[in-house]
A = this chain, B = another copy of it.
Amino acid sequence: MQILVPFAVERPKTRLGDVLGSEERRGFARAMLADVLGAIHETGREATVLATAPLDVDAPVEVDDRPLTDAVNARLEGAVAVVMADLPLATPPAIESLFEPAAEVVLAPGMGGGTNALVSAHPNFGVDYHGASVRDHRRIADEIGASVATVDSFRLAVDVDEPADLAEVLLHGEGAARDWLVDAGFVLDAGDGRVAVRRE
């Protein structure tokens, strides 16, 4: 099965702009991509990076500068998995859990209604990544009569979009993204309530 990992080459992770400069965001995004590709590789599967521009990475690359939804829908032939590039907590077992349910559409929700990973094996399924996509993907699957399974994974649910998410990487990450944050001086800042990060 083909596994696509979409990746925005030029201006990734704009919502981290308060804590990382633009060059840093590019570096950190590359580190997260390396973690995701590494986790997929360790399952014995291979990924293709679906990139908005050419990039040098240890995987085959397809360049498509259309919006994410269009670029993915153009490639939903046969059984295809789509795994987001900003999941630095993804482990090989978490990736493999996407392929275990016997359903035509498998969804891994992200925090805040996103769809962090999915598998489509139904010819009429199409993605729509705008807004509460996990709800929309359930609806689309229902409309076409596709069976749906949902994967229950914290490691796939944590996508890194906002500064608070960096705490999850420091707490639970074990790869390049965590190392990148540590090298950049980020540390946990524990108080009451949820743990945050600060930069030293």
A116 to chain B: closest residue by CB: B154
B153 touches A190 (CB 8 A): no
Copies per complex? Answer: 2
> Given A193-B15, A193-B161, are A112 and B152 neighbors across the interface (CB < 8 Å)?
no
Stretch from A17-25, A39-47, A139-147, A164-172 forming part of the interface with B: A164-172
Q: Which of A141-186 contact B (CB under 8 A)?
A: 152-157, 161-162, 164, 167-168, 171-172
A154 touches B188 (CB 8 A): no
A residues contacting the other copy or chain, number (CB 8 A): 33
Q: How far is the CA of A152 from the CA of B172 in the complex (A)?
A: 11
- Nearest Cβ on chain B to A187's Cβ, whole angstroms: 11
Taking CB atoms, residues of chain B closer than 8 Å to A193 are 15, 112, 161
